[in-house]
Amino acid sequence: MKRCSLAVLFFTICSCLPEGHPPTEGVADIIKMSDGSKTVDAIEAPKEGTDCLPQCLGKQCGNDGCGGFCGQCGAGENCNASGQCAVTNCGDMSGLQAGAPWPMRGQCPTHQGRSLFLGPSQPVMKWSFVTGDAVDSSPAIGADKTIYFGSGDDFFYALNSDGSLRWSFLTQSFISSSPAIGVDNTIYFGSYDNNLYALSSNGALKWQFTAGDYIVSSPVIGADGTIYFGSGDGQVYAINPSGIKKWSFATGNWVISSPILNAQGMLLVGSQDSSFYALQPDGALYWSFAVGSDIATSPAMSSGGIIYFGASDGRFWAMNQNSTKEWMNPFVAGGAILSSPAIGQDGTIYFGCSDGKLYALNQNSSLKWSVVLGSVLKSSPSIDAAGVVYIGAGDGKLYAINPDGAIKWTFATNAAVDSSPVIGADGTIYVGSNDGSLYAIGE
């Protein structure tokens, strides 16, 4: 967050305004003690040309109510529902865009899938944006509220928060990979045309890297800007921010799982060769663990360092970072696990299953509850600040589930919802549907 000394003259105060604010004709009227020195934390005056008064009193970050922001959080922090910068315990986020409420798949480098904002108490469609084919790519949300996602129509889209098109970019095949937004605002995503794309914030191509086969794996960005992802050629790739390959690691089959990064830079990812891999920052194998069935899901890691993932034989695993099993035996669900896990603030693990159930597990592997949602669940859950779980289903509905497993509400689209929902800073839920639309659901 930008700050300056109270001793500066008024004409320099405007340089301390949070991004998104024009110069004001008012004066600084919020003064905060920080480490014993007086600092200006916000300017409360109407925005130029409007009657809107920014609402930043007591806030370090978040929306100001006038289309701007009250400040941005630092590395390893995110803005919570109270407008305060909070440590995420969700991996090193310094390679991601600061202030973005949902900058990548799973929200952060360890894929905990948890937001610091509250979702809607009841669903009201704010808008929908129609593409030319199914949308199973999960969106990312930038600090400026731009929503990024891909479609089966081969286009990658950037939308404004009102649902209007900001720009689109045409690839050579359909897009299932979910984007990640880098610290320099570069947007990275993969396509079935075998390319990882790097686009500038205005939609211009910066570079593309061609792998040996399709890319449905979603990228994760390291603290140094390295981009990691898997490919249908069986390789896990590390690409530097200029688009040059640093290294690749060969597994025995397709890698559609999206990797995660721990705080030390260890990369963790599953493969269709039925093994789970831990790779060192230089690409060397740290360890691998055979699970006996292909791994189509992406892992998640708890704040305590436990790694969770599911396999196609219905077994759900918990591993320690040294390759030992956290649970003596995996939890067995009622069908293939095609949904990646999310982890609640209390440590509860949530994932969907092809048996139509959303499962909630305790940290000791016991079943907390399960709820039948009626159809195959390929969507991965997301969790809001109150612990409400959001997940799409094959019956075309988005479900909101209370922490006790009771269905809070449902929202119907016109086809299966395989996209994973994400949560904006104002509580809007964004999710794609196989009916070809991206939906914005608020209240």
Indicate if 406 and 270 belong to the same structural domain: yes
Whether 106 is covered by a domain: the verdict is no
Q: In angstroms, rounded to a whole number, what is the distance separating the alpha carbons of residues 391 and 378?
A: 9
Q: In angstroms, rounded to a whole number, what is the distance separating the alpha carbons of residues 351 and 59?
A: 34
Q: Is 13 helix (H, G, I), strand (E, B) or coil?
A: helix
Indicate if 324 and 240 belong to the same structural domain: yes
Whether 87 is covered by a domain: the verdict is no
Indicate if 59 and 128 belong to the same structural domain: no
Q: In angstroms, rounded to a whole number, what is the distance separating the alpha carbons of residues 443 and 328?
A: 44
Whether 82 is covered by a domain: the verdict is no
Indicate if 147 and 233 belong to the same structural domain: yes
Indicate if 43 and 192 belong to the same structural domain: no
The answer to whether the beta carbons of residues 438 and 146 sit under 8 Å apart is: no
Q: What is the pLDDT along the chain (443 residues), one digit of tens a residue?
A: 333 333 333 333 333 333 443 333 332 332 233 333 333 333 344 545 567 888 888 888 766 778 677 876 665 565 655 677 766 568 888 899 999 999 999 999 999 999 989 999 999 999 999 999 999 999 999 999 999 999 999 999 999 999 999 999 999 999 999 999 999 999 999 999 999 999 999 999 999 999 999 999 999 999 999 999 999 999 999 999 999 999 999 999 999 999 999 988 999 999 999 999 999 999 999 999 999 999 999 999 999 999 999 999 999 999 999 999 999 999 999 999 999 999 999 999 999 999 999 999 999 999 999 999 978 999 999 999 999 999 999 999 999 999 999 999 999 999 999 999 999 999 999 999 999 999 999 98
Whether 382 is covered by a domain: the verdict is yes
**Closest to 220 measured CA to CA, from 235, 211, 230:** 230
Number of domains in the chain: 2
Indicate if 54 and 155 belong to the same structural domain: no
Indicate if 246 and 332 belong to the same structural domain: yes
Q: What is the pTM of this model?
A: 0.83
Indicate if 1 and 135 belong to the same structural domain: no
Whether 95 is covered by a domain: the verdict is no
Whether 241 is covered by a domain: the verdict is yes
Indicate if 63 and 138 belong to the same structural domain: no
Indicate if 44 and 133 belong to the same structural domain: no
Q: Domain range holding 1? A: 1-72
State the pLDDT at residue 51.
79
* CATH code of the domain containing 411: 2.130.10.10
Which of 32, 50, 72 is the endpoint of a domain?
72
Whether 116 is covered by a domain: the verdict is no
Q: In angstroms, rounded to a whole number, what is the distance separating the alpha carbons of residues 109 and 262?
A: 7
Indicate if 271 and 152 belong to the same structural domain: yes
State the pLDDT at residue 68.
73
The answer to whether the beta carbons of residues 241 and 259 sit under 8 Å apart is: no
Indicate if 42 and 138 belong to the same structural domain: no
Record the tokens describing residue 32, joined without a space: 């905060």
The answer to whether the beta carbons of residues 416 and 399 sit under 8 Å apart is: no
State the pLDDT at residue 58.
84
**Closest to 285 measured CA to CA, from 266, 272, 307:** 266
Three-state helix/strand/coil letters over 149-162: EECCCCEEEEECCC
State the pLDDT at residue 79.
60
The count of other CB atoms within 10 Å of the CB of residue 384 is: 21
State the pLDDT at residue 50.
63
Whether 79 is covered by a domain: the verdict is no
